[in-house]
Amino acid sequence: MCGIVGYIGKRESLPVLLEGLKRLEYRGYDSAGVAVINKENEIISFKKAGKVKELENEFDKDQLTGNIGIGHTRWATHGEPNDRNAHPHFDEGSNIFLVHNGIIENYLSIKKKLLQEGFTFSTDTDTEILTNLVEFHFRHTNDFEVAVRLALTEVEGTYGIACICKAEADKIIVARMGSPLMFGVGIDETIVSSDAAAIVNYTKNVIYLEDGEFAVIRKGGFQLKTIRDENIIREAQTIEYDLAEIEKGGYEHFMLKEICEQPESIQNTFRGRINFDTGFVKLGGIEPVREKLLSAKRFIITACGTAWHAGLVGEYMFERYCRVPTEVEYASEFRYRQPIIDKDDVVFIISQSGETADSLAALKEAKRLGATTVGVVNVVGSSIAREVDAGTYIHAGPEIGVASTKAFTSQLMSLALLTLMIAQSKGTIRDSELKEILSELKVLPDKMNQIIEKQKEFEFVAEEFKDSRNFLYLGRGFNFPVALEGALKLKEISYIHAEGYPAAEMKHGPIALIDENMPVVFIAPKDSTYDKIISNIEEIKARKGKIITIANEGDEDIRRYSDYVLHVPRTAPIFAPILNSIPLQFLSYFMAVARGCNVDQPRNLAKSVTVE
Ligand code: F6R
């Protein structure tokens, strides 16, 4: 999500750090910072909310001279994006400076221990706690390398880190667990980064760290080890990509990258929030309004576009498992229709960007009317995230493609977590059902990967239908909003007209559109609506419509009714929309590519709609 860069070698480090940070800004861009070791072995650091350009205005270049340094561009996960929370973080005595990508899950328990030891904290970040933990071990061992190693054996979660130490000012230590980290080995210099984009201008020889490994890098070379202190010998690999390809991780478009990233982004959404042994679901950001949530008479979900579709799935989840009456409103309608709201209502605002003007205005209206407001937001510190009474971040990472994909599935996951937390506390879900859902959750990322591996099948079907002028998407229950989302994805990036409907509603009008030129996508998982949806498929077949079915693995029978079947693994109903969305994202993507459309920046659209 965020970007790390480091330099040690013969040049001035600052220009290398700044250039690297600019190259990494596409990954995260809410604040940036650098720390450089000068000739007197002091560490000088500057950090600033905003883009790298704003950081550059903070200092004169001659304030930051020296051949060793680290830098960071941040996409906030803990604490809003301001100067204080920007990286590098450092301990009170300014001995250890550290930059970090990832999430330290057990930061609260570590903080408690460090507070007892007399450590103090001045930011809201998990990274500051890790920095102080390294300093804690340094004070006991007087050995930077050992201190980093001991600290890393204590933390749970994910990290890519680079850190420097005033008392041992000749090295950078880097480490990785679940968050990419690599270093380029040039002639008399080493460039550290979370992403090859910051390295390729200097060298193409790169060492990639694996999980559980760290490296001590000095001017004369490096030592690679496991955090258990076992030595590792690894040859550098030669990277062949050009810069543009690297930013997209080798994918042709950001949208494709983001579709394929979903097994990882979904894990980031639920990571550290569920105790799989006890079944306990905890969303820290919701705690301030927990009692309000449990006693609410009614939930209202408001959002726009794709986020509104997530809200519709949320309605099914909340009513089925929490037994709380739920309404879903377009934010743009909500704010103007004088809604009847009172203090016992909880209003959820779902937004990827956290800046959508209509959603923000709906939130303000809900607050004015006295409701409790809860955000389900991706961008940390965004306007909606700051304005709500409480909230849960979806942690999908930066979404750059204009068509929302990974944010949608992470919104669904966040709503599922909220549902489970509320249902568990209210006792409206059976233990056995909760257990089943959680065991499905564990394997969900693998099941998402299985779908992603079938890209060629989706591409084939997309090619067959790329010249269609219209599409219908039909689903029932949890999958009706998935049909709406599938249709929206197709419209926005391939400019093919598409409509989504509840499958049974079709015979009340849209069926008049069906002829041999009309492709109809059915979402037909083996759930309680299956037999009914088969009847709906037959109604289309009788009128010669072309049928593409999203069905469960093992359902071969459905081929009798369908022209094309795209299989996805079976899962719990609450997660079915997550899996079923993926083939629809691929269909729209491949159709848009086949039609020569600008996938990442479709005409007339903007990533964040900050006007009414
Ligand atoms: C569609 C899409 C839009 C957004 C909508 C709300 O792919 O991205 O429909 O979902 O503009 O945006 P956020 O979630 O940022 O409030």
Q: How far apart are the first and last CA of the chain?
A: 30
404 lines ligand 1 (CB under 6 A): yes
pLDDT attached to residue 530: 92
Closest CA to 580 of 505, 526, 519: 526
Helix (H, G, I), strand (E, B) or coil at 135: helix
Would strands 345-351 and 372-377 be described as parallel, antiparallel, or unpaired?
A: parallel
pLDDT attached to residue 605: 72
266 pLDDT tier (thresholds 50, 70, 90)? very high
Mutate which of 258, 352, 383, 599 for ligand 1? The one with the most ligand atoms within 8 Å of its CB, which is 352
Provide the token pair at 524.
């037909």
Residue reference for tokens 């006007």: 611
Catalytic residue among 2, 165, 260, 597, which? 2
Which residue intervals of 183-289 are DSSP H helices? Answer: 243-247, 254-260, 262-270
pLDDT attached to residue 610: 53
Lowest average pLDDT, out of 27-36, 117-126, 600-609, goes to: 600-609
> How many Å lie between the centroid of ligand 1 and the Cα of residue 586?
18
250 pLDDT tier (thresholds 50, 70, 90)? confident
Contact between 390 and 289 under an 8 Å Cβ cutoff? The reply is yes
Mutate which of 258, 588, 609 for ligand 1? The one with the most ligand atoms within 8 Å of its CB, which is 609
179 lines ligand 1 (CB under 6 A): no
Q: What percent of the chain has pLDDT over 90?
A: 77
306 lines ligand 1 (CB under 6 A): yes
486 lines ligand 1 (CB under 6 A): no
pLDDT attached to residue 242: 63
pLDDT attached to residue 267: 95
Catalytic residue among 51, 204, 454, 607, which? 607
> How many Å lie between the centroid of ligand 1 and the Cα of residue 451?
24
Q: With 60 as the cut, is the pLDDT of residue 552 above it?
A: yes
Lowest average pLDDT, out of 25-29, 338-342, 355-359, 427-431, goes to: 25-29
2 part of the active site: yes
CA separation for the pair 22, 9 (Å, rounded): 20
pLDDT attached to residue 103: 85
Lowest average pLDDT, out of 14-18, 142-146, 181-185, 356-360, goes to: 356-360
411 lines ligand 1 (CB under 6 A): no
> How many Å lie between the centroid of ligand 1 and the Cα of residue 497?
18
pLDDT attached to residue 240: 65
Output the residue whose Cα is nearest ligand 1's atom 3: 305
Average pLDDT over residues 398-410: 92
232 pLDDT tier (thresholds 50, 70, 90)? very high
Q: With 90 as the cut, is the pLDDT of residue 246 above it?
A: no
Q: With 80 as the cut, is the pLDDT of residue 167 above it?
A: yes
Output the residue whose Cα is nearest ligand 1's atom 10: 306
> How many Å lie between the centroid of ligand 1 and the Cα of residue 295?
30
| Cβ contacts of 204 within 8 Å, gap of 6 or more | 184, 238, 239, 240
Q: Which atom of ligand 1 is nearest to the CA of 608?
A: 15
pLDDT attached to residue 346: 98
Q: Which atom of ligand 1 is nearest to the CA of 352?
A: 14
351 lines ligand 1 (CB under 6 A): yes
Q: With 90 as the cut, is the pLDDT of residue 26 above it?
A: no
225 part of the active site: no
pLDDT attached to residue 244: 65
392 lines ligand 1 (CB under 6 A): no
585 lines ligand 1 (CB under 6 A): no
pLDDT attached to residue 506: 87
353 lines ligand 1 (CB under 6 A): yes
Closest CA to 378 of 274, 307, 305: 307
> How many Å lie between the centroid of ligand 1 and the Cα of residue 338?
24
Lowest average pLDDT, out of 20-29, 255-264, 525-534, 594-603, goes to: 20-29
pLDDT attached to residue 25: 77
Output the residue whose Cα is nearest ligand 1's atom 11: 305
**Between 239 and 18, residue with greater pLDDT:** 18
Provide the token pair at 158.
């994910």
Q: With 90 as the cut, is the pLDDT of residue 74 above it?
A: no
pLDDT attached to residue 355: 84
> How many Å lie between the centroid of ligand 1 and the Cα of residue 304?
6
CA separation for the pair 545, 275 (Å, rounded): 47
Average pLDDT over residues 50-77: 89
Q: For residue range 448-481, what is the model confidence (pLDDT) as tens digits?
A: 999 999 999 999 999 999 999 999 999 999 999 9
600 lines ligand 1 (CB under 6 A): no
238 pLDDT tier (thresholds 50, 70, 90)? confident
pLDDT attached to residue 608: 61
Contact between 471 and 498 under an 8 Å Cβ cutoff? The reply is yes
609 pLDDT tier (thresholds 50, 70, 90)? low
Helix 431-452 to helix 262-270 angle, to the nearest 10 degrees? 150
574 pLDDT tier (thresholds 50, 70, 90)? very high
609 lines ligand 1 (CB under 6 A): yes
The per-residue pLDDT of the chain, averaged, comes to: 92
400 lines ligand 1 (CB under 6 A): no
CB atoms within 10 A of CB 466: 16
85 pLDDT tier (thresholds 50, 70, 90)? very high
Average pLDDT over residues 475-500: 96
One DSSP character per residue, 267-322 reads: HHHHTTSEETTTTEE--GGGGGGHHHHHH-SEEEEEE-HHHHHHHHHHHHHIIIII
CA separation for the pair 548, 564 (Å, rounded): 5
Average pLDDT over residues 96-108: 93
438 pLDDT tier (thresholds 50, 70, 90)? very high
Mutate which of 353, 384, 611 for ligand 1? The one with the most ligand atoms within 8 Å of its CB, which is 353
Average pLDDT over residues 64-75: 93
CA separation for the pair 404, 396 (Å, rounded): 11
278 exposed, middle or buried (CB, 10 Å; 0-12, 13-18, 19+)? exposed
Q: With 70 as the cut, is the pLDDT of residue 223 above it?
A: yes
Q: Which atom of ligand 1 is nearest to the CA of 305?
A: 9
160 lines ligand 1 (CB under 6 A): no
Q: Which atom of ligand 1 is nearest to the CA of 359?
A: 16
Cα 74–chain centre separation = 14
> How many Å lie between the centroid of ligand 1 and the Cα of residue 391?
18
Average pLDDT over residues 47-65: 89
> How many Å lie between the centroid of ligand 1 and the Cα of residue 95?
44
Provide the token pair at 584.
């629809």
Mutate which of 306, 382, 406, 589 for ligand 1? The one with the most ligand atoms within 8 Å of its CB, which is 306
608 lines ligand 1 (CB under 6 A): yes
Average pLDDT over residues 537-560: 94
Helix 576-594 to helix 406-426 angle, to the nearest 10 degrees? 170
Q: Which atom of ligand 1 is nearest to the CA of 306?
A: 10
Return phi, psi of residue 17, to 5°.
-65, -45
